[in-house]
Amino acid sequence: MRPPEFDRDGADLAEEMIPCLSVRQPYAWLISHCIKPVENRTWSTKFRGRVLIHAGVTYSKRDHLDDLESWRHLGYPEDRESMVGGIVGEAVITDCVKQHPSEYFFGPYGFVLDQAKAFERLIPYGGRLGFFGVPSSVLAGVSHKVAYVKSQGQTRKHHCHWPGCTAQCPPAMWGCTRHWYALPKDLRDRIWRTYVPGQEVKGTPSAAYLEAAQAVQAWILHHLANTPAPATTPQQEGLF
């Protein structure tokens, strides 16, 4: 058994890491298009769940032309460059088997894949052997913002925006690690999408960001309604 090993670089931001598996083309394409339902490995895994499909860079022009001939009718990409060196889709690993009826199975182990989905376009990313972690911000297209926020320090007094939390955190961050991850993922994604690097310096958050921050406060108040902790009413100046 080889457990997933997630790269925890940047753990100071405590970003969520999504497991990813690198696969050579054309297999990454075939998997993400629900044609290949099993991925062969020399090692077994107990991991079950969502996994990103990464396409490695090794893919000769000759192989690409052969594959294009085979699967052009299924929409196989004519541009080889657009399908190597990045994340191309995702699937759910539901089982790890030693036997499988698929013509693509040759073992010795097969990771059974379900609910495969191809991404609209490749997300450039370096691959690694085995399972590796990809920060969720890479998928949200906000990795440059994460890099910026990570580089920011405690430039002035600024506390977590969770009502009642006095933990200091850099002005570029919404709040302390504990409370940030207490928020639902869709709200955290919305904050990332609407956050503009530097807004906390200029003091000019966009209307979209303020709306997102309001939505967060509304969620927190609703969440706290079932707990004895007192909740405060958010003020606009306290939103960023």
Residues binding Zn ion (CB under 5 A): 160, 162, 165, 167, 175-176, 179
Cis peptide before 230 (omega within 30 of 0): no
- The smaller minimum CB distance to Zn ion, of residues 101 and 153, is found at 153
C-alpha separations of 233 from 111, 119, 212 in Å: 50, 41, 16
Both structure tokens of 13: 């931001």
Name the minimum Å distance from CB 174 to Zn ion.
9
- The smaller minimum CB distance to Zn ion, of residues 176 and 220, is found at 176
Give the bridge partners for 92, in sequence order.
Answer: 50, 114
- The smaller minimum CB distance to Zn ion, of residues 33 and 179, is found at 179
Q: Which residues contact 126 (CB under 8 A, 6 or more apart)?
A: 85
State the Cα–Cα distance between residues 34 and 55, nearest whole angstrom: 15
3-state secondary structure of 14: coil
State the Cα–Cα distance between residues 53 and 109, nearest whole angstrom: 18
State the Cα–Cα distance between residues 145 and 94, nearest whole angstrom: 34
Measuring CA to CA, which residue among 174, 163, 41, 53 is closest to residue 111? 41
Name the minimum Å distance from CB 190 to Zn ion.
18
Name the minimum Å distance from CB 183 to Zn ion.
11
- The smaller minimum CB distance to Zn ion, of residues 149 and 160, is found at 160
- The smaller minimum CB distance to Zn ion, of residues 176 and 183, is found at 176
Name the minimum Å distance from CB 203 to Zn ion.
21
Name the minimum Å distance from CB 217 to Zn ion.
13
